[in-house]
Amino acid sequence: MRINRFPVLELSVFCLILVLLSFSFITKDEKSSEEKPNILFIAVDDLRPELGCYGAEHIQSPNIDQLAADGTVFQRAYCNVPVCGASRASLLTGLRPAHKRFLNFMTRADKDAPEAISLPSYLKKNGYQTISNGKIYHHEHDDKDSWDELWRAESNSKSWKDYALTQSLENETNTRGGSAYERADVEDDVYRDGKIAAKVIEDLRKLSQSDKPFFLGAGFIKPHLPFNAPEKYWKLYDGKVSVPYNNYAPENAPKQSLHNFIELRIYDGINKKGPVSDEMASNLIHGYYACVSYVDAQIGKVLDELERLELDENTIVVLWGDHGFNLLEHGLWCKTSSYETALHAPLIVKIPGKNKVKATSEIVEYVDIYPTICELAGLDLPEHLQGDSFKNLLYKRKAKSDGIAIAQWKKGLTVIKDNYFYTEWIDDKDSSVARMLYDHQLDKDENFNISEHAQNKSVIEELRKEIRANRGENYFMKK
* pLDDT (average), residues 321-349: 98
**In the structure, what pLDDT confidence band is assigned to residue 5 with cuts at 50, 70 and 90?**
very low
Q: Which of 201, 239, 237, 240 is nearest to 218 (CA)?
A: 201
Question: What's residue 174's pLDDT?
Answer: 58
Q: b/e per residue, 23-62, with b = 16+ CB within 10 A?
A: eeeeeeeeeeeeebbbbbbbbbbbbbbbbbbbeeeebbbe
pLDDT (tens digit, 9 = 90+) per residue, 348-358? 999 998 768 99
> What is the value of pTM for the model shown?
0.92
Residue 23, pLDDT > 50, answer no
Residue 102 has pLDDT above 50, yes or no: yes
Average pLDDT over residues 143-154: 97
Q: Quick check: 416 and 343 in contact, CB under 8 A?
A: yes
> Taking the C-alpha atoms of 259, 263, 268 and 271 in order, what is their torsion angle to the nearest 10 degrees?
0
pLDDT of residue 99 exceeding 80, the answer is yes
pLDDT digits 0-9 by tens, 49-91: 999 999 999 999 999 999 999 999 999 999 999 999 999 999 9
**pLDDT reported for residue 158:** 83
Q: Are strands 315-321 and 404-409 parallel, antiparallel or unpaired?
A: unpaired
Predicted local confidence at residue 310, as pLDDT: 97
- Over residues 5-29, the mean pLDDT reads 41
Mean pLDDT calculated for residue range 235-260? 97
pLDDT in tens, 351-392: 998 768 999 999 999 999 999 999 999 999 999 999 999 999
Annotated catalytic residue 440: no
Domains of the chain, first to last: 37-403 (3.40.720.10)
What's the mean pLDDT in 116-122? Answer: 98
Q: Is 304 exposed, middle or buried (0-12, 13-18, 19+ CB in 10 A)?
A: middle
Catalytic residue among 99, 138, 323, 344: 138
Mean pLDDT lowest among 15-29, 105-119, 439-453: 15-29
Q: What is the pLDDT of residues 416-469, one digit of tens each?
A: 999 999 999 999 999 999 999 999 999 999 999 999 999 999 999 999 999 999
Average confidence score pLDDT of the chain: 92
**What is the four-CA torsion angle of 89, 92, 93, 95, rounded to 10 degrees?**
70
pLDDT at position 477 is 82
What was the pLDDT predicted at 173?
A: 72
The span from the CA of 64 to the CA of 350, in Å, is: 11
138 is catalytic: yes
Report the pLDDT value the prediction gives residue 44, as an integer from 0 to 100: 98
Per-residue pLDDT averaged across 394-409, rounded? Answer: 97
Strand 432-439 and strand 420-426: the pairing is antiparallel
What does the pLDDT average to over 328-338? 97
Q: How confident is the model at residue 175 (pLDDT cuts 50, 70, 90)?
A: low
Query: Measured between alpha carbons, how far is 459 from 84 in angstroms, rounded to an integer?
Result: 32
- Does the pLDDT value for residue 183 go beyond 60? yes
Catalytic pick among 53, 84, 291, 374:
84
**What pLDDT is recorded for position 176?**
65
Mean pLDDT in residue range 124-142: 97
